[in-house]
Structure 1
Amino acid sequence: MRFQVLGSLAILRGGHTERLTGRLERTLLAALLARAGKPVPVEALTDALWGDRTDPRTGQRLQLTVHRLRRKLGEPDRLSFGPAGYRLRVRPGELDAERFESLVGEAVEGARHDPRGAATSLRGALDLWRGTPFAGVDLPALDDWTHRLVERRLMALETLYESELACGRAAEVVAELTTLVREHPLRERLHALLMTALLRAGRPADALAAYRTARDTLEAELGLGPGPELRELERRILMGEPAKGKAAAAEDTERAGARTARSAVPAQLPLNVRAFVGRDAELAELDGMVATTRAAIATVAGTAGVGKTALAVHWAHRVRERFPDGQLYVDLRGYDPDQPVSPGDALGGFLRALGAALPQDPAERTARFRAMTAGRRMLIVLDNARSAEQVRPLLPDSASCFTLITSRDTLAPLGAREDVRPIRLDRLPPADAHRLLRELLGARATAEPAAAEALIGQCVRLPLALRIAAELIRSQPDLSLADLAGELAERQGALDLLDIDGDPYTAVRPVFSWSYQRLDPAAARVFRLLGLHPGHDTDAHAMAALAGHGLPETRGSLDVLLRAHLVDRGADGRYRQHDLLRAYAAELAAATDPAAERESALSRLRGHYLYAASAAMAIFAPNDYAPRPKVPPPDGPRSSFAGYDDALRWLDAERANLLDATRHGDPAFVTRISETVALYLRVRGYFDEAVTLHGRALEAARTIGDQMAEANASRVLGTMMNLSGASPEDVNAHFRRALAAYERVGDQGLQAYVLSSLACVRLRLGELTGALGQFERALALNGVNGNWRVRCAILVNMGRTLRTLGRLDEARNCLESVLELCETHGDKSVEANTHCILADVYTRLGQQAPAFEHARRGMALARETGYRQIEAHCLGKLGTLHRQRGELTQALHLHGENLALARAVGETELLIEALNTLATTHTAAGHAAQALRLHGEALTLATVAGERVAQAHSHAGIAAVHASLDERDAARSHWRQALATYEAVGLPQATDVRARLDELDGRDGE
C-alpha cells in the first residue's frame, strides 16, 4: 500500500488508485497521515472535519466517515480505535512525503562528494512530486508540513542543478532553469544558477541579461537590489573571469585576506561526563539523525536526575568534529528554584560567542542569531528547557545546524510548528544501573549483589542518586552496601506518603538526606547556603561571605561537598549544583535556618559583591565621571586583586551574579552596584546587561526616594541606550531627567556631563553646529577647575565634532589638551580614545607619520585597558592608512578585524563606521559586490538609528562603487542624496561630491 500526499490525496493498493473524492474522506485521511502511527483524539478529528459546526450526531457522522475510509484502505486493522483516539498504521516507505524527504536529505548530504549520484537521486525524488501537497484539503494544521515540503522541493531543485553544473551539463540545463526562474522569480539562488549555466555554456551576454532581469524583478517586487551572490557573479562576468561556485569564491576572498567579519568558532560544551554508561539506543538514534540530516532538532525528555544533561554532553563531545563551525551550549535553568534564563539573555551569550552585535530587541536578536548560523555546520545544546516558548527563539533557521534540547517536559507544542525528533529518556535499565555502580565502586559492588540490587532500587535507577550513594560508600570504607541500603529503606518508609505520582525529587530525597546527614555541621551549613545563592555558579570567596566563615574553613567545607557529589566544580574552578540538589538545599535552608539568619547571610553576600566590585573597579578603571560609592570592607575575608588582569577576570566571571543579586533585596544595593560597575559595562561593551542593571537601579532609586541615585541611573541608562542605537527620543528622556535631578542637587560637573550627552544625541541627528555650541556651554558650566574627567569627555566630543566639520587644526588643539589632562591624572582609557581620534585628524591633514603613531599608541592603550570599542576604532584607522599607501591586503585584514570586533561590541556608530570603511577598501580593491553589500548594511543601520551623517557617508560609498562600474545613473542618485546631507550639515565632503557629480555630467556630455 502507498499513500500519496504530494499532490492530490490518494491511496495506492493492489495495482490501482483509490481516489478520495469526498471532502470528509480527504480531510480525515490527511489529519491521520499528519500523525501517522500515533493516535489522533476524536475531538481533533471532529474539529478538522466540521469545526464549530458540530451537533449531537457528530460522533455518528465521524464513525461513518471512518467506515468509508476503512473500505478504501481495504485492510480494516489499518485504522484502529483506542482510548486515545483513531490511529492509522503507516509502514516505513509507504508515505510518498517520507520517501521524498529521505531521498532529498541523502542526496544533499552527498552532493559535494558525488554530484552525479546526487543528481540521479534528486531526479528520482522529484518524480514523486505531483503538485502542491494535500491539494484540495483545507486544514490549517497541515500548513507547516506543506510549507516545509515546498521548501524542500526548492532546495532539492537548487541542489540538483548545482550537481548538474558540477558534472559539466551547463548547456543541457539552461532550458530547465529558465522555466524554474519564470516560476519562482524571487528565488535568487535559481537566478544565480541560470547565470552560471549560461556563462559556462559560453553565453556571457545572455548571463548579463539574466542578471538584469533578476535585478529588475527584485527591485519591482521587493524594493531590494540583488544579493551578494548575484552581484559577485555579475562582477565576474564583467571582468571576464570564469564562473565559480560559492565555495571557490569564498576561498579566493579568504586567500586575498578579504574575509569580512569572520565569525568566531565557539566551543562552549561543558566538561565531558565521567563514568558514562549505557544509553546505546539513544546515542545511536542521535547519531542517525546527524548522519541523515533528516531532523535538525531533537529533544531529550525525562524526569529530573535521569541523566539528560549527561547524555547530551557525552554525545556532543562524541560528535563535535562533525560540527567544525562550533558548538554552543546554554543551561536554561528551566527548573531552578529561581528565575530561568530568558531567551534574550541566552541569545546574548550566543551572539557574543559568535562575535556578533547584541540588538536590544529580542526579536532582532533571534533574527541576528539565525543570520549568523545560516549555512554553518554548528551544534546547539539547549539544556534544561522549561517550555517551548523558552527555546523557540533560540532555534537556528538552517538545516546545517543541529539543535539538541533537554527538558523534563516533552515540549509537545514545539513539535506542532517545528520538525522535531523526540527521544524519551527513561531511568537506567537494571543492567546499566549495575554497570554504573560497578564503574563507581568496583569490587565492592560485586561483593554484595543483593545489597547492590536493593540500593539500585532505592535510587530508582537515577544516575544522579546512584553517584551520590556510591560516593557515600567510597568515602566510608567501614560502611557496607547493606548498611546503606537498610538506612535508605527506613528513610524511604518515612517519606512514602510524600511521593506523589513517582516524583523523582521525593523518590531520591532519602539519598540526598542520608548524604546530607553524614556531613559535618560546617559543610551541612554551606550546603544549605548554596540553595540561597542567587546565581548559577559561585566561588569560594562568595561562599565564605554567605557563611560568615574564613576562606580556609569554607574551602574545606566545599571540598567535602565535592567529594560527596553534592556540588560540582568546573574547569574554571567555580562551583555549581544540579537543580534538584539546589532545590533540596533551598528547602533545607528554609526549614533549618531562621529567616533572620538567612537574610543576614544574603546581606553579607551583597556586601562582599559590592566591596569586591569596588576593589576591582579601582584597578580596572580608577577614574569615573561621578564619584563611586564608598564601600566599607566586610567583616570576613576581603577580596583583593593582583593587578589589572586579575580584576578584569573577576568582573567578567561575576558579571551575571552581580545582576542576579540585584533581582531581590535591598534597593540601595542595586543603585550602588549600578554606580560601581557602570564604566566596566560600558568599556567592555556589555550593553544589554547595562540596560537591565541601570533600569533596575532607576526603579530602586525611586523606591527609596534617592534623587542622586535616580539621576545617576538615568544618566548611565541614557548613555548605554544611546551607544546601542536606541531612539533619540527615549535617550533624551533619560538625559533630561538626569539633568533636572543634578540641577536640584546642585552638581554642576554632572550637569555639564549630561549637557554633553544631549549634544552627542544631536550629533546622531546631524545637528553638528548646534551640538558644538552645546559642548561649549557644557565646558563653561563645568569650569576650568571643575570635574576633570567631565572636562575630558566634553573636549573629546568637541574634538570629534570639529574633525567632522573639517576644522582640523582646532580639533587637534582640543584633543592635545585632553592628552595633557590624561598625563596629569593617569587616565589610560581616555588617552586611548584621544589618540584614536587624533590619528584620524592627522590622516585628514595628510600627515601619515603622526597618524600612524597616534593609531598605534591608541591601540596599545586600548588593549591594555580592555577598551574594545577604541581597539576597534584604532584597527579601522590603521586600515585606512594602509589603504592610502596602496597596501590593500593589509588594509583588508585590519578592516576585517575592525568589523569583527565592532559586531562583537555592538555599538551602533562604531559598527556603521566599520562597515563603511571596509566597504571603501573593497571598492579600492575592485570588489564591487562586497563593497555594495557592506555599504548597504551600513545604510540600513544608520537609517534605523537616525545617524544622519553616517547615512550620507553610506550613500557616498555606494555611489563610488556604482561609478567604478560605470553605472552612472545609480552613482548620481546616491551622490545627490549624500550631497543633500553634507550641504545641510555643513561638511567638507560636499565639495568632493559636487566635483564627482560635475565629472559625471561631463562624461555624459562626451
Structure 2
Amino acid sequence: MLGDVAIRRDGRAEALGGRLERTLLAVLLARAGRPVATDVLTDALWGDRPDPRSGQRLQLQVHRLRRKLGESDRLTLGPAGYRLRVESGELDAERFESSVERAVGIAARRDPRGAAAALRAALELWRGAPFTGVDLPLLDDWVHRLVERRLVALETLYEAELARGRHTEVVAELIQRVREHPLHERFHALLMTALARAGRQVDALAAYRAARETLVRELGVEPGEELRALERRVLDGESLGPGGTAGPGGRRGDAGRAEVPAQLPLDVRTFVGRGAELAELDGLLASAPAAVAALSGTAGVGKTALAVRWAHRARERFPDGQLYVDLRGYGPDRPVAPQDALAGLLRSLGLEGAALPQGLDERAARFRTLLAGRRILLVLDNAHAVEQVRPLLPGAPACFTLVTSRDTLAGLVARDGAHRVRVDRLPAADARRLLRELLGTRVEAEPEAAEALVHQCVRLPLALRIVAELIRSRPALGLTALTGELAERQGALDLLDIEGDPHTAVRSVFSWSYQRLDPAAARVFRLLGLHPGRDTDAHAVAVLAGLGLRETRRCLDVLLRAHLVDQTGDGRHRRHDLLRDYAAELAESTDPAAERAAALDRLRGHYLYTASAAMDVFAPHDYAHRPKAPPPAGPLLTFAGHEDARRWLDAERANLLEVTRHADPTFVTSLSETVHLYLRVGGYFDEAITLHTRALRAARAVGDEFAEANARRVLGTMMNLWGADPDAVVGHFQRALAVYERAGDRSLQASVLNGLAGVRLRRGELPAAMREFERALELNGAAGNWRVRCALLVNMGRTLRTLGRLDEARHRLESVLELCASHGDKAVEANTHCVLADVHTRLGAEAAAFDHARRGLALARESGYRQIEALCLGKLGTLHRNRGELARALDLHGEALDLARAVAESELMVEAMNTLAGTHAAAGEPARALRLHEEALALAVEVGERVAQAHSHAGIGDMRARLGDHATARAHWRRALAGYEAGSLPLAAELRARLDAQDPPRA
C-alpha cells in the first residue's frame, strides 16, 4: 500500500495491469478483511455512470486479480460483497503503523536512544505516500491517516535525537524536512532548536524569519505560539539545551516559574484488584499517542476510584500537568455543560476572566491550542453522554484523556477512536479481598457470612464499603446476624426490582445503613437529598434541617462514619450521586411536601441573607441598591474581613447558582442584585451571565419591569467587560434606561448612561463617551446619589487623562476626594488617588504623584479592592521606572500583573501587561517587552478594547524597531496611529511625526 500499489508473493513482485486493477486492489486493501459492496467497487472503477455491463466487467477484473494473488480463497464473494483476506503482518502499512506505535511508546518511557533507533527502523518501511498512482476520494482518509502517522514518527524521531544531544547531526535532515513540508510549523521549531543548541543563534533566527515569510505568503497567517516563543527565547539568550525543549511546556509567568496544574483527587486508600484494567490502560498509553480511554460501568462499581488510581500511577508520564473535571452526569442536578467545563479547564491553564472566549467552538479551539505541544492527562469523570465529552477532547498527540461514565459512549468509540474499558463488578476473589482489607479478622472468623455479604452487595465496591462501616460500628454482633438482617431488607426491596437491576442491592445496603441512624441523623440525611449543590457546609445543613450548629455537626459526623457522606479537604460535605438519589427518594416518601418546601425556603433564605452579609464586608460601598433579606432561623454566619467574605462566596458560588434554578422569581432577582459585584470583580463571567439571565427571565415571567431593568443593567455591565457584542450590550442598557426613565429614578438612569459610556470607551470613541458622562452627571444632579456621582467623576477623570486634558482631569478627581471625605468611601477614594497619581506623573509633578499612588495603595488594601491595588502598584512602578530604579519597577509591575490576572478584568490585564513591557524595554530587554505587548494585543483584540489595541500596537512597533525589524515596526505604528486618531488621542501627533521621519518621501 505504501508507494505504488503492489503484490509480493514468494519474494517476487507480481506485475499489475492498468489503472482498473490497481484501483480494485487499493479499495480492497483499504477494507482488508471486510466485505466491500459491488456498487462501491463499480463506482470506484468507473464512476457513477450507469453501465448495464458493469457487473460483468467487475467480475473480469476480480478474476484477473485472483490470478495475481495466487490463492483462490484470498478474494471471495459473499452476500455483502467482495472480501480480501489479509493475514496479520502482510500489509506494509500495518507493519509501518505498528512499528511507529511501538517506537512512540519507547519515547514515552523517556528512552531517547531506543526510541530513535526504533523510529528510524520504522521509517525505513515508508516507500512513499499510500496508493501512489490511484486517485480516488474513497481512499483519502486512509492516505491522510498514514501520512499523519509518518509526520508524528518524524517529529518524535527528531525530539529523541535532540534529547540525545545530537543537534548538530540532525540539522541537515531537518533542513530537508522543512523543504518537504514548508507549512508544518513543528519542523521549523525543531530546526530552530537544533541550530540554537549548536550555537548557531543567527541561523536559528534566520530559520524563524524564513518560516514566517512562508506562512504569511502561503497562508496569510503569522507563526503560531511555539515558533514565536522560540524566537523570543533565542533573542533573550535563553538556553535551549535538554532542560528547555522545542515544544511549549507548562504555562509560565514572567519570573519563569512553570504553573503546572495538578488537580487529581486524593487516591483511594483501600483499593484492590483491577489489575487487568490497569494493565489495559498502561498498554493503551504506551501504544497510542493521542489516546482516549472510556471507563464504562454501572453506578458504584468503582470507575472513579480506578481512574484516580491509574492517573496517580501515570502522573509522572505527564510532566505538563493533570486536569480533572467532574461532569456530574448523573444526579438530581443537570450535567455540566461542555461550555462551562471548558471555562474551568481554560482557567486552570491560565486563561482568566474576560479573556475566556464566549462560544463553545471558540473555547474548544482555544483549549486545544493551549494543549498543543504539551503532555497533559485529562480526567473527565462521570460523563453523561458523548456530546458532553467531545468538545473537551484535546487535539495534542501527547495528551491522554480518561473518561468515566455509566453510558457506553459508543459514539466516542466509533467516531473519535476511544478505547472502551469495561469496568465490571469486582470478581468474587477481589470482593472478598476488599472485605478483608476493610474488616480484618472478622472475615476469617465467619467465612460463610462474609461470602453472603459479598453476594448481597453484588460485588460493588461502594456497597461493600458501606456495609463494612456498619459492621465495624456494631462489634457486638456477628457477621451472620447482620447478613440475616440485610437479607430480610433486601427481600422487601426486591419487590421493586426491575429485571435484576443491581441498584436494588445497593439500595438495600443503603437502607440497612439508614435504618441504623438515629432519627435526627436520618432526617439530616434525607434533607441532604434536597440540597441542589454538589457540596455544602455545616451552616447550610443546619438551616436546611432547622437544627442548631452543634447538633448538625453531630449528625454529619454520624453520616461521615457511616460513609453516607464524604468530607472534602476543606471540611465541606458531599455525597455520592447514588446516595443523593436515595436520600431524595426517602425525603419524598417520608417527609411531607410542605416540610420539604419549608426546608428549601430556609436554605434559600440562608443563602440570600449570608450572601448579602458577605457582600456588606466584601463591597460595603456598592452604589447600587442591595436587597436586604431577613435573617433566617438558625445559626448565622459572620465575616471577619474581606478575605473571609470572599472565601465563603468562592466556596458557595456554584450553590448560589443552583438554588436559583427552580426558585421563586423574587429570590432569583434579589440574589442577582446581591452578588453581581462579587461576580464582576472575580471575573466569573459565565456564572454572572447565567445568574443575571435567569433574573431577567424571572422578572419578565412575573411582569416586574423594574427587576427586569436591574437584571439588564448588571447583565449589560458583565457582557461589556467580557467583550460581548456591543450592540447586544447597548440593547440591554437602553431597555433598562427606558424603565428607569418611566420610574423617574434619575440615579439609576445615570448609572446606565455610565455603562453606555463604557461601551463607547471600548470602541475607542472617547469624545462621545465624555458626552455620555456629562449627560449622566447632569441627570444625577448635585443632590443625587453620591456614589453614582463619584463613579462618573472618576471615569471622566480617567477619560480626560487619556485625552491629554490633564488639568480638567485633576479638577474632576479632586472634587471626588471632597465627596469621599464626607462619606468615608475608602474604595472610591483609593481609585481617585490612583488616577490622580497618573495625572500628576504626566504633569511632571513626581512628589505629588508618589503621594497619591501610595495613599491609593494603602486605601485599596484596607478596603480589599484588588483591582485598585493592581492599578496603584502599576502607577508606583512607573514612577520608579522614571527615576531609573528599574529593579523596583519590575517588581511592582510584576506584582500588578499578577493581581490583574487574579482579578481577571480584561482592561486591567492589558494595561498591566503593556506597562510591564515598558519597564522591560527600559531595562534593555526588548524581546521580553515584545512578548508582553503581543499578549496584551491578543487580549485587547479579543475583547474589543480599541485604545488598548493602539497602545499595544505602538509598543510592538517600538520593540520591533529596536530589534531591527523596521518594516514590521512601521506596520504596527500605522495601526496604532489609526486607533489614536479615531479616539482623538494626543498620542497621534507624536506617532505621526515618528512615522513621517521613518517613511521615505513620496515622489
TM-score, normalised via structure 2 length: 0.88
Give the alignment of 1:267-666 within 5 angstroms. Answer: 267-290=262-285, 294-357=289-352, 358-496=356-494, 498-666=496-664
Is contact 1:855-1:877 (8 Å) kept? yes
Out of 667, 670, 681, the residue aligned to residue 668 of structure 2 is: 670
AA in 1 matched with 2:298? T
**1-structure distance, mates of 2:362, 2:595:** 44
1:736 corresponds in structure 2 to 734
Q: 2:182 aligns with which of 181, 185, 200?
A: 185
The residue number in structure 1 matching 2:221 is 224
The aligned runs of 1:734-813 (5 Å cut-off) are: 734-813=732-811
1:985 and 1:312, CA in 2 relative to 1: closer, same or farther beyond 3 A?
same
CA distance in 1 between partners of 2:658 and 2:820 (Å): 35
Q: Is the 8 A contact 1:456 1:466 kept in 2?
A: yes
- Offset at residue 415 of structure 1 (A): 2.9
Contact 2:248 2:374 in 1 (8 A): no
Contact 2:866 2:903 in 1 (8 A): yes
Q: Which amino acid aligns with 1:995?
A: A
Cα distance, 1:703 vs structure 2: 0.9
- Per the alignment, residue 123 of structure 2 pairs with 126
How many Å apart are 1:539 and its aligned residue?
Answer: 1.7
Shift of 1:651: 0.9
Secondary structure of the structure 1 residue equivalent to 2:469: helix
Tell me if the contact between 2:834 and 2:868 (Cα under 8 Å) persists in the aligned partners: yes
Tell me the SS of whatever aligns to 2:628: coil
Spell out, residue by residue over 1:499-547, the C-alpha distance to the aligned partner (whole angstroms, 9 max, x if none). 3454332232221222222223322222222221111111222222222
Give the distance between the partners of 1:722 and 1:79, measured in 2 at CA.
66
Which residue identity is paired with 1:732? V
8 A Cα contact 2:870 2:896, kept in partner: yes
Q: Choose 91-100 or 543-552, whichever is displaced more.
A: 91-100
Confirm or deny: 8 A CA contact 1:263 1:355 kept in the other structure: no
- Tell me, yes or no, if the aligned pair for 2:906 and 2:939 is still in contact at 8 Å: yes
Over 3 Å counting, the alpha-carbon distance change for 1:79 and 1:103 in structure 2 is farther
Which position in structure 2 is the counterpart of 1:30?
A: 30
Given residue 592 of structure 2, which amino acid in structure 1 is its aligned partner?
Answer: P
| Secondary structure at the counterpart of residue 295 of structure 2 | strand
Q: How many residues are paired up?
A: 982
- Which whole-Å CA distance do the structure 2 matches of 1:646 and 1:677 have between them? 15
Which residue pairs with 1:704 in the alignment? 702
C-alpha distance 7-455 of structure 1, shift in aligned 2 (>3 A): farther
Q: What secondary structure sits across from 2:484 in the alignment?
A: helix
Residues 685 and 869 in structure 1, CA contact (< 8 A), matched pair in contact too: no
Gaps of 5+ in 1: 34-39
How much does 1:147 deviate? 4.4
Q: C-alpha displacement at 1:411, in angstroms?
A: 1.8
CA RMSD of aligned residues (A): 4.1
**What is the deviation of 1:274?**
2.9
Which residue in 1 is equivalent to 2:683? 685
Structure 1 residue 338: deviation in Å? 2.1
Q: Shift of residue 804 of structure 1?
A: 0.3
Conservation of the 8 A alpha-carbon contact between 1:78 and 1:89: no
Q: Does the 8 Å CA contact 2:289/2:400 hold for their aligned counterparts? A: no
Alpha-carbon distance, 1:216 to partner: 2.4
For the 8 Å contact 1:615–1:640, the answer to whether it is kept is yes
Alpha-carbon distance, 1:722 to partner? 0.8
Q: State the shift of 1:644 in Å.
A: 3.1
Amino acid at match of 2:184: R
Does residue 98 (structure 1) correspond to residue 97 (structure 2)? The answer is yes
1:487/1:324 CA distance change after superposition, 3 Å: same
Instruction: Indicate conservation of the 8 Å contact 2:681/2:905, yes or no.
Output: no
Higher relative contact order (CA 8 A, sep 6+): 1
Quote the offset at 1:282 in angstroms.
2.3
Structure 2: distance between partners of 1:47 and 1:560: 69
Find the counterpart in structure 1 of residue 826 from structure 2: 828
CA distance in 2 between partners of 1:274 and 1:595 (Å): 40
CA distance in 2, matches of 1:776, 1:544: 51
Secondary structure of the residue aligned to 1:334 is coil
Equivalent in the alignment of 1:215: 212
Counterparts in 2 of 1:319 and 1:977: CA distance versus 1, 3 Å: closer
Range with greater deviation from structure 2 (409-418 or 291-300): 291-300
Deviation at 1:91, TM superposition (A): 5.4
Residues 125 and 225 (structure 1), Cα distance of their counterparts in 2 relative to 1, 3 Å cut: same
CA 1:425–1:761: 2 relative to 1, 3 Å: same
Residue 450 of structure 1 deviates from its aligned partner by 0.7
CA-CA distance at 1:414 after TM superposition: 1.8
Q: Which residue of 1 aligns with 2:947?
A: 949
Give the letter for the 2:414 counterpart.
A
- SS of alignment partner, residue 303 of structure 1: coil
> Retained in 2: the 8 A contact 1:842–1:850?
yes
Residue 406 of structure 1: SS of its match in structure 2?
Answer: strand
Match of 1:151 in 2: 148
Distance 1:202 1:301, change over 3 A: closer
1:384, distance to aligned residue in structure 2 (A):
0.4
The letter for the 1-side match of 2:222 is: G
Q: CA deviation at 1:24?
A: 5.6
Q: Which residue of 2 aligns with 1:37?
A: none
- C-alpha contact (below 8 Å) 2:328/2:382 kept by paired residues: yes
Task: Output the amino acid matched with 1:355.
Answer: G
Change in 2 beyond 3 A, CA 1:51/1:559: farther
- Structure 1 residues 446 and 624: alpha-carbon distance in aligned structure 2, compared to 1, 3 A threshold: same
Give the match's secondary structure for 1:404. Answer: strand
Instruction: Indicate the residue corresponding to 1:870 in structure 2.
Output: 868
Same amino acid, percent of matched pairs: 67
- Return the letter of the residue paired with 1:721: M
Change (3 A) 1:834 1:642: same
CA contact (8 A) 1:100 1:128 kept: no
Q: Secondary structure of the residue that 1:634 maps to in structure 2? A: coil
1:668 partner amino acid: T
Is the deviation greater in 144-153 or in 270-279?
A: 144-153
Kindly tell me: are residues 708 and 408 of structure 1, through their superposed partners in 2, closer, same or farther at Cα, counting changes over 3 Å? Answer: same
Distance 2:120 2:864 in 1: 56
Q: SS in structure 1 opposite 2:683?
A: coil
How far residue 396 of structure 1 moved from its aligned partner, in angstroms, is 2.6
Match for residue 36 of structure 1? Answer: none
Letter aligned with residue 30 of structure 2: A
Q: CA deviation at 1:746?
A: 1.5
Structure 1 window deviating more from structure 2 (134-143 vs 147-156): it is 134-143
Deviation of 1:967 (Å): 3.4
| Distance in 2 separating the partners of 1:279 and 1:903 | 43
